[in-house]
Amino acid sequence: MSTSSRFVPDAVVPRYRGARATIDPDRSRSWLGRARPIVLAHKAMFITSLACTATALLLQTAMPRVVMAGIDRALVARRASLTPFVVTLVILALVRAAVSFVSRYFLYRVAFEIEYDLRTIVYEHLTRLSFSFYDRVQSGQLISRANSDIRSVQMYLTFAPSILVQCLSAVFAFVMMLTIDVRLAIVAMITMPFVYLVGVAMRNRMFPISWVVQSRLAEVATIVDENVNGVRVVRSFAAERQQLRQLNRAARRVEWAYVRDVDIRARWAPVVENLPRLGMALILLYGGYLAVNRELTVGAIVAFNTYILLLQAPFRMLGQLMMMGQRASASAQRIYEILDEPPEIVERPGAVDLVDCRGQVDFAGVDFAYAGGPTVLDGFSVQVPPGQTVALVGRTGSGKSTVARLLARFYDVTAGAVRIDGHDVRDLTLASLRARVGVVLDEPFLFSVSIRDNIAFGRPDAALSEVEAAARAAGADEFIRDLPGGYDAVVGERGYTLSGGQRQRIAIARTLLVNPPILVLDDATSAIDVQVEQEIHGALRRLMEGRTTIIVAHRLSTISLADRVLLMEEGRLIADGTHAELLRTEPRYAQVLAQAEEHERQVRAAFEDSEGARAGADSPPQPDELEPIDIAVGGGAA
């Protein structure tokens, strides 16, 4: 293998602007401290928005002073015309409208930019996490955190600074009140310390319930996601009412949390909002006394009344800010749980590209166990020369699919090493390794796009002629052309508008289009009838020339592709030789084949009986009373 040149991916590399910053990895910092780099990445627009907000507030606090002067000088004393005061108010209003527009425009620009950054950061991290992470985490939890939790954090990071700046209107109003009458200004602020104390008490009660709300919303999302994806299983067992009861229980739990949340708001928010109004009553009482004694003008009382109204809005927003903060804090912690999860499969420093791949595959003393599970492979060792056909034969659970997953480095071995062309797969870059090892899984996944786009997933720039050639090689071209729209037909969710066999053939074509030097078909023909399977094998024989291929299947017909057969049992290699040699010298191999032959005979009989009723179906029924025996085949030149 030559590593003198760099690996160039076949697929078109998508061009997009990544996040401008990332979350601070220091877990000892507060959630706001960790999110600060994202906010600072947009500081130019943010500062502009906040500066315009502050300017608008200054203009707003100047208006009552103009009104006071107009009342006292033009209406009461009649020493001046009212027109200059009206013109001044109009100018102040127009300027305030202009700066408010700029403020809101940049504020929402920042909001969408921060949301984009957060979604990009979370999704990019999800793409780096290992398969073991997805083995234990529910998809609904991830969907909830990548949507509603991100929105909660985005709302707070964007609007909290703006709300705090708007709270400066209380400071500006208090300063203006001091310039009018110090005594009345002090009376107006008597209630403010109590507002702070009530706000702190409300915040302490809001955080725990905010966490519960977000967590239980994720539970509902998980149930909905599983029922949508498993709708066929639910309906086949007539379990709709059972699932509805499960969703009802989860919804009731969310309802309780929301009611508790609203109860806390109902108890404390009115107090926060109405304490400033008590200050208004005190102003009217004391200010009226001063006016009666001619120590204060009527215009001053009107101005004070307006400033008290300006004081109410910030404190009302302050209560909202506290509730937003507790929800955002809970959501941020849930997001950080994902971002703090380290990927187990990472490239080592100095990893090299797998450029000129010959296809030499070596498993050297491999031990492996899934997280928290029993040993799957135990001292597994085998060498596969380039282009050689190797069949792994064994019962379900013997470790055949695990061999394929370790080869593509979906998981790392517990002990030993997996090598390609003499290089440990852990020393290779992941992109180049997985471009050279094509894997078709036993559960084919199709995207809700056209069939052409599904086949060209690994090579989006492939010509239609290349897509059609790959489909013909996989035995899919004929049924694709019979579909309305042909290759432009859009498949449904997960490809369920197609039969199981059709989905598997498209998945095989998708891998063949990439043309990897090492091909793994993990039980990829299990849902294809025998006649179509033979057609695919005929095409594969031509494509396997010079290619190392591993096919995991349960049918005896695939053994004919093998030059060499390896018998596996409980994760160990117990026999190695040709089909004829093992049949002659290894009783356990003969026993496995006999059971597999009986299994296949039952499958064919069941399929023939149901073929008329299931016209065009590619998925023969699997008899439940028989134990399925899996056979894995590696293919090269036949």
| CA-closest candidate to residue 199, choices 292, 316, 103, 119 | 316
Residues 392 and 268 in one domain: no
285: helix, strand or coil: helix
**Is the pLDDT reported for residue 196 higher than 80?**
no
Say if residue 469 is in the same domain as residue 526.
yes
Spatial separation of the C-alpha atoms in residues 471 and 556, rounded to whole Å: 24
Average pLDDT over residues 587-605: 73
Average confidence (pLDDT) over 389-400: 81
Structure token pair of residue 371:
């997280």
Does residue 265 or residue 471 have the better pLDDT?
Answer: 471
Q: What type of residue is 81? A: S
Instruction: Give yes or no: residues 231 and 304 share one domain.
Output: yes
Task: Specify whether 391 is located in the same domain as 335.
Answer: no
d(CA 467, CA 475): 12
Whole-angstrom distance, CA of residue 237 vs CA of residue 231:
10
Q: Over the stretch 292-321, which tens digit does the pLDDT of each residue have? A: 777 888 888 888 878 877 776 776 677 678
CA distance 36 to 496: 44
Alpha helices in 43-145 (DSSP H): 43-69, 83-128, 131-136, 139-144
Give a yes or no: residue 55 inside a domain. Answer: yes
618 pLDDT exceeds 50? no
Residue 483: CATH number of its domain: 3.40.50.300
65 exposure class (CB count in 10 Å sphere: 0-12, 13-18, 19+): middle
Across residues 53-69, what is the average pLDDT? 89
Identify the pLDDT of residue 601.
Answer: 67
Of 339, 373, 403, the one marking the end of a domain is 339
Average pLDDT estimate for 610-619? 44
The answer to pTM > 0.75 is no
Residue 509: pLDDT over 60 = yes
pLDDT of residue 536: 66
Least confident of 203-207, 390-394, 414-418, 509-513: 203-207
User: Is position 344 within any domain?
Assistant: no
Give the pLDDT of residue 189.
76
Range of the domain at 542: 361-635
Residue 18 lies in a domain: no
Asked if the model's pLDDT at residue 558 lies above 60, the reply is: yes
Q: Are residues 251 and 118 in the same domain?
A: yes
pLDDT confidence bin for 21, thresholds 50/70/90: confident
More confident residue, 247 or 115: 115
Q: Are residues 299 and 404 in the same domain?
A: no
In a domain, 347, yes or no: no
Per-residue pLDDT reduced to its tens digit, 340-388: 988 888 888 888 988 888 889 999 999 999 887 888 999 999 998 998 8
Work out the mean pLDDT of the chain and round it to a whole number: 80
pLDDT at residue 412 tops 70: yes
Q: Is the pLDDT of residue 607 over 60?
A: no
3-state helix, strand, coil split of the chain in percent (to 5) is: 60, 10, 25
Q: In terms of pLDDT, which residue wins out, 90 or 233?
A: 90
Check pLDDT > 70 for residue 26: yes
Output DSSP code: residue 28.
T
pLDDT given at position 242: 79
Q: How confident is the model at residue 604 (pLDDT cuts 50, 70, 90)?
A: low
Task: Compute how many other C-beta atoms are within 10 angstroms of the C-beta atom of residue 124.
Answer: 12
Look at residue 613 and tell me whether its pLDDT is greater than 60.
Answer: no
Is there a domain that residue 530 lies in?
yes
Q: Quick check: 612 pLDDT over 50?
A: no
- For position 68, which CATH number holds? 1.20.1560.10
Q: Are 384 and 634 in contact (CB under 8 A)?
A: yes
User: Are the beta carbons of 135 and 371 closer than 8 angstroms?
Assistant: yes
Domain-located, residue 22: no
Question: Two tokens at 379?
Answer: 């001292």
Last residue of a domain, one of 285, 304, 339: 339
630 CB contacts (<8 Å, ≥6 apart)? 394, 395, 396, 398, 400, 523, 552, 553, 554
d(CA 53, CA 59): 10
Do 268 and 391 lie in one domain? The reply is: no
- Give the per-residue pLDDT at 166: 83
Chain length of the chain: 638
**Each residue's pLDDT tens digit, 200-232:** 777 777 767 777 887 787 778 777 776 766 665
pLDDT greater at residue 53 or residue 395:
53
- Which pLDDT does position 93 carry in this prediction? 92
User: Residues 72, 210: one domain?
Assistant: yes
- Total domains present in the chain: 2
Same domain, 136 and 277: yes
Same domain for 424 and 313: no
State how far the Cα of 370 lies from the Cα of 413, in Å rounded to an integer: 10
Mean pLDDT of 324-334: 85
In a domain, 374, yes or no: yes
Residues 408 and 540 placed together within one structural domain of the fold: yes
pLDDT of residue 551: 77
DSSP category for residue 619: -
Note the pLDDT of residue 364: 93
If asked whether residues 435 and 387 sit together in one domain, one would say: yes
CA 486 to chain centre: 32
16 in any annotated domain: no
* Calpha distance 334→145 (Å, rounded): 7
Q: Over 80: is that where the pLDDT of 528 sits?
A: no
Domain boundary among 278, 304, 339: 339
